[in-house]
Amino acid sequence: MAHLEQQIAALRQAMADPAPVAIEELLVLRDLSGASIRPMHPPPGVTPREAAVLVLFYPSEGELWLPLTVRSARLTTHRGEVSLPGGGTDPEDGGPVGTALREAWEELGIRSANVEVLGTLTPFYIPPSNNRLTPVVGLSSSELDLRPDPDEVEAAFSVPLRTLLDPATVREEVWERRELRMRVPYFALEGYKVWGATALLLSELVARLRRAGLYA
């Protein structure tokens, strides 16, 4: 129980700290020299759609856990990738928090009444879907009963926070796309390579938690 309380305290402290995280600490696509090649903002003249995801921690077995989803093959973008419950903002959402809570209910059956919103991470641009994504971080007071929607979610699984904080979980490969060779960092979780936008936002959260004094 003491470890759980330590994790929760660090999570609250991390989300209360407004200082930005340097891009050197983030898991982003890089060229072979190590320079970031990931656009964080849309090109001039491009208006992205606002979107949000919910990064929700819940207590189980004396520590915090995070649910992740595997996107359905029926979706138009990012099929089969590991993600978080989320999607585009609708007018009635009232902003990213409303979007994240609605999508968590639709995708995983998570009731918004059980979620304490702790804050948001840094919004960033996702070129393939032309979204400006805001990660919303929340805390559930009780263990979750996940009910994935098969139209959007191929599978759902949870990982303990200590796994995200373990440096050995972070790996890197060199990929080639459109004749461009790049370094692709990712979290190795449950047999999946968690890269791209999900890796980026999780790495920001990990950096903030370490700044708050939590390492494992």
pLDDT by 10s per residue, the chain, length 216: 569 999 999 999 999 999 999 999 999 999 999 999 999 999 999 999 999 999 999 999 999 999 999 976 554 554 568 999 999 999 999 999 999 999 999 999 999 999 999 999 999 999 989 999 999 999 999 999 999 998 888 899 999 999 999 999 999 999 998 888 999 999 999 999 999 999 999 999 999 999 999 987
Of 104, 135, 106, 149, which Cα lies nearest the Cα of 15? 135
Cβ neighbours around 213 below 10 Å, total: 11
- What's the rounded Cα separation, in Å, for the pair 60 and 62? 5
| 101, 130, 168, 193, 195 from 31: Cα distances, Å | 36, 22, 22, 19, 15
Strand partners, 36: 30
77 burial (CB, 10 Å; 0-12 / 13-18 / 19+) is exposed
Are 202 and 187 a contacting pair, CB within 8 Å?
yes
